Amino acid sequence: MMSSSPAPRVGYVLRKFPVLSETFILNEILALEALGVPLHIFSLARPNMARFHEDLPKIRATVTYLPDLCDRRKLMRYNREAARRYRGRYARTLARVLSSGHPSLLWRFLQAGYIAHKARKLRLRHLHAHFANRATTVAHLAQSISGVSYSFTAHAVDIFTRRVNRKVLARKVAKARFVSTVSEFNLAFLEDLMNGDKGRIVKVYNGIDLSRFAPNGQPSSAPFTILSVARLVEKKGLPVLIEACRLLRDRGHEFQCWIVGMGRMYARLNGMIEGWGLRDQVHLLGALSHQEVLERYRSARLFVLPCRVGSDGNRDGLPVSIVEALACGLPVVATPVTGIPEVVRDRYNGRVVPEGDASALAEAIESMICDSRLYARVQSNARPSVSSTFDRRRTAAVLQNLLQEATGGPS
């Protein structure tokens, strides 16, 4: 006889919620809720953007925003309750934090004390964090204080940059019930970090809503439209795209290139466009709503994202925008960085070019413009190449099983 009791509630610990560029977290939450997983969201900071995803109102979970410095009394009151409840564990964790020599860790400890107390009041059985840095630090400390288990999803900036302390990261992995990560490349990286221990690390791709990201008619054939959707940061390789556009313009090709996103490289990219006289070809569109981005996917002919390894070691895990583009029937031109070759295959559903090579990138785009047979073949393979592996219902089911094992819930 099946139990009618709800699955144990899981706490999601996030740096900030919602964040416009982190659609993968929203997708995951919605898919888990559709599977009947009750969630409670803890956001360490309040959002500071006015634009959010159109699906945000569909979330059923309550969001708790942790007190900030202006509400220290509430934070300290919860910590006093946690100290009374967990006594020795709380004291030992505090002593370890104070001896670490990192003042910022004390703030994370206070946030963890708040969550530890709140989790007990809500009868949460498990915490899951996204990104291996701040949110996971808080979940790890909450585990140390209260004993509630935790897990986390590792992405890219949180594990690859040179400023990441690998000993600390390994300690977080070792204490977690499980660690999910977004590509085979990331999985191998973390297994190497743990000296080949595969027991607690699993790959769970960032899934998408395939019903939303679907082709919608045939885009206009002229001018040939190139789309890139990315934060304007070094690891996305967008200066290489703009240089490739200059080469294409100089070879006489008629095209439009739309770049969607914002970031600290905006001024540099804008200067390149201005300096090379590309105003008629390359357009920085800024941050758009998700519906507006979807419309761009459906009206473009090609998606280009020439990712690279940044000067600080930062790199992408596997950009969700590539998967979204393929789901919309767009061939993709990209680089073989981290997890990208797991989804983009040269001359099958796009083209793969060396990172940092504007000439090779221009030639690959040119092949998509000029070779209609090649274009038709890779376009026909675009959506099928992601339609099962990246279906968020499938990826969420994997995560659901992991969370049920962690909470002792029904399988």
Q: What is the pLDDT of residues 64-115, one digit of tens each?
A: 999 998 898 999 999 999 999 999 999 999 999 999 989 999 999 999 999 9
Together in a domain, 401 and 380: no
For residues 203 and 245, membership in a common domain is answered with: no
Query: Is residue 380 domain-shared with residue 403, that is, in the same domain?
Result: no
Q: In the prediction, which pLDDT does 236 show? A: 97
Amino acid in the structure at residue 168: V
Please count the structural domains in the chain. 2
* 212: in domain: no
Give the model confidence (pLDDT) of 237-281 as tens digits: 999 999 999 999 999 999 999 999 999 999 999 999 999 999 999
Q: Is residue 4 part of a domain?
A: no
Q: What is the mean pLDDT of each run of 10 residues along the chain (411 residues)?
A: 59 95 93 96 88 83 94 94 97 96 94 97 96 98 97 97 95 96 96 86 96 81 92 97 98 97 97 98 94 94 97 94 97 97 98 98 98 97 96 96 85 37
Residue 278 lies in a domain: yes
Are 232 and 203 contained in the same domain?
no
Within a domain: 213: no
Residue 1 lies in a domain: no
Are 161 and 198 found together in one domain?
Answer: yes
Residues 146 and 248 in one domain: no
> What is the pLDDT, as a whole number, of residue 270?
98
Query: Could you count the other beta carbons within 10 Å of the beta carbon of residue 80?
Result: 13
| CB contact at 8 A, 59 and 30 | yes
Residue 215, domain member (yes or no): no
Give the bridge partners for 228, in sequence order.
259
- Secondary structure (H, E, C), 326-340: HHCCCCEEECCCCCH
Determine the pLDDT at residue 3: 42
Going by C-alpha positions, the residue among 164, 269, 153, 262 that lies closest to residue 205 is 153
Beta bridge partner(s), residue 286 = 260
278 and 354 inside one domain:
yes
Residue-level pLDDT at 55: 83
Residues sharing a CB contact under 8 Å with residue 297, sequence separation 6 or more, in sequence order: 213, 227, 229, 303, 324, 325, 328, 330
> What pLDDT score does 51 carry?
61
Which tokens is 175 given?
Answer: 């204490």
**Residue 17 corresponds to which tokens in the numbers above?**
């919620």
CA distances for 51 relative to 287, 294, 349, 397, angstroms: 9, 15, 32, 29
Range of the domain at 247: 224-385
Are 202 and 321 contained in the same domain?
Answer: no
The pLDDT of residue 20 = 84
Question: Would 151 be classed as within a structural domain?
Answer: yes
180 and 99 housed in the same domain:
yes
Which helix (DSSP H) or strand (DSSP E) does residue 80 occupy?
A: helix 72-98
Domain at 277, CATH number? 3.40.50.2000
In a domain, 170, yes or no: yes
The reply to whether 286 and 375 lie within a common domain is: yes
- Spell out the residues 6+ positions from residue 397 whose beta carbon is closer than 8 angstroms to its own: 35
Same domain, yes or no: 35 and 94:
yes
Do 250 and 170 reside in the same domain of the chain? no
